[in-house]
Amino acid sequence: MARVDDHSIPHDAAAARSFRDSLLAMLGIGLVNMLVALDQTVVSTALPSIVADLKGAEYYAWIASVYLLASVVSVPIFGRLGDYFGRKSFVIASIITFTAASALCGFAPNVAMLVFERALQGIGGGMMIGTAFASIPDLFPDPHARVRWQVVMAGSYGIATAAGPFLGGFLSAVYGWRATFLINLPVGLAGLYCVIRYLPHIEHARKQRTTIDWTGAALLSVMLASLQMGIERLPAKGLASSTLTLVAIAIGSCVLLYKWEKRHAQPILPIDLFADRNLVLLFVLSFVAGFAMFSLLFFTPLLLQTGFGMTPQAAGIAVTPLPVCLALGSLANTRIVTRLRAPMTIVTVGFALIGAGCVGTSMLDSTSPHALGALSMGAVGVGLGFIFNNLNVFAQELSGRARFGITTALIQSTRMVGGMLGTATIGTLVSRSLARVVAGAGSGALAGNRAAVVHAIHMGFGFDVVVVCGAVVCAQRVVGVRLRQVPSPRQVE
């Protein structure tokens, strides 16, 4: 992108051009964010139709989990590579990979090919998360401006999450399940144009030749992959030998990774990041936010269907206040956080709102007014709007520009791992409760299923309350977060 000397044109025209380019660059990143959010919601709605058409019920879980597995592994690796080599090329590659894989998924001839193509799609999605979010501080070095522009990300995520379940059901019913993948093509192409045309290429000065830490990347991949597979097996298998083996592999690879990265001059995962107590607390807060959000998004519809007798469509609509209020909370956050002398205050308030929402959902049953569910979801959404964007910006400010990519990626990764563990925890409670009902009631087990599911989900949401209360305490212990002006990066044409 050719640069124009701002001194050669009127100041107002230069400012207008800069604003337009920033807006269109953020639009491209917002579309990238929307792609990831759409895949999480649209495709999951279409899964029953997919396995029925392709005759692959035994691959049902893999269609979803292989994407998540590839994504979780890719996020921190590409986040760190973006720190070394610049992010624009990786964002472009991620959009091309994700969009091409979506097209392949849409024309998959059988379920085995679909699983492979979903893995490719997951790599593209992980590359997006690891690099696109870290491109925002490249565009806006001033953290005050960054917080304001992050509302684009929250808005795109909220729109995609709110519309995704309905869109997935509509496309599957009217055009077939393949349309749920092909819908990514126009969004991806629009995002690709905006990124290529308007996202600047930022190169950070390097004092020495960069060597890629392949061993560290491999150990990190093994650790995250075994952790994710172990967590996914927890609801169905419990603490079986296979689950414990995966956990042992995750712990062992974590130890090896720690020892290796301490010796490497340019580690894929800088260990000294974890020596910063404030950064570690922010990672914990991101983990808890993902734990609460995904457990509520996955199991509140089941609770409403079981406790209220709602249809799946009605239950999905009842959860809509969460993503809508997430966008509204993010918009309000931009007006509040830049005026606070202690910016972490709003994060504490956000977790308090999430805790209140979890208390409300843990009280839902067949006699509860529907407004209680809507208010609870709305409180959680506003709370998340006060948290997500701020955690990104605060972590970036604490880590420094040279580590924006890996720090932002770790915030995203801990949120994803928290979400996996949150859904696995409540899933395990539901599975165990149903198993006890079946074992104890014999032929009358079906009569107790409804009560068992409601009780287990209530217990899970009660556990969410405990975890979120811990996050409130952690948020108050984070000190030293300030939204300061930072130097502009060097732009390379």
- Residues 105-164: pLDDT tens digits? 999 988 889 989 999 999 998 898 888 888 888 788 788 778 777 777 777 777 777 777
CATH homologous superfamily of domain 9-203? Answer: MFS general substrate transporter like domains (1.20.1250.20)
Angle at 49 between CA 44 and CA 53, to 5 degrees: 135
Contact 238, 428 (CB under 8 A): yes
pLDDT score at 359: 94
Task: Give pTM, 2 decimals.
Answer: 0.83
The CATH architecture annotation of domain 271-493 reads Up-down Bundle (1.20)
pLDDT number for residue 491: 43
In 113-270, the DSSP E strands lie at none
Q: Please tell me what DSSP assigns to residue 225.
A: H
Give the residue extent of every domain in the chain: 9-203, 213-267, 271-493
pLDDT for position 6: 44
Quote the pLDDT of residue 433.
Answer: 73
Q: What is the mean pLDDT of the chain?
A: 82
- Overall residue count recorded for the chain in this entry: 493
Q: Which residue has the tokens 């049902």?
A: 60
Low-confidence ranges of the chain (pLDDT < 70): 1-16, 44-45, 57-58, 60-61, 203-210, 307, 312-313, 434-448, 484-493
> 366 in helix, strand or coil?
coil
The pLDDT score that the predictor gives to residue 209 is 66
CA proximity to 180, closest of 297, 71, 294, 47: 47
pLDDT of residue 468: 95
Q: For 433-453, how does the pLDDT look when each residue is reduced to its tens digit (9 = 90+)?
A: 766 655 555 544 444 577 777
Question: Which pLDDT score, from 0 to 100, does residue 141 have?
Answer: 79
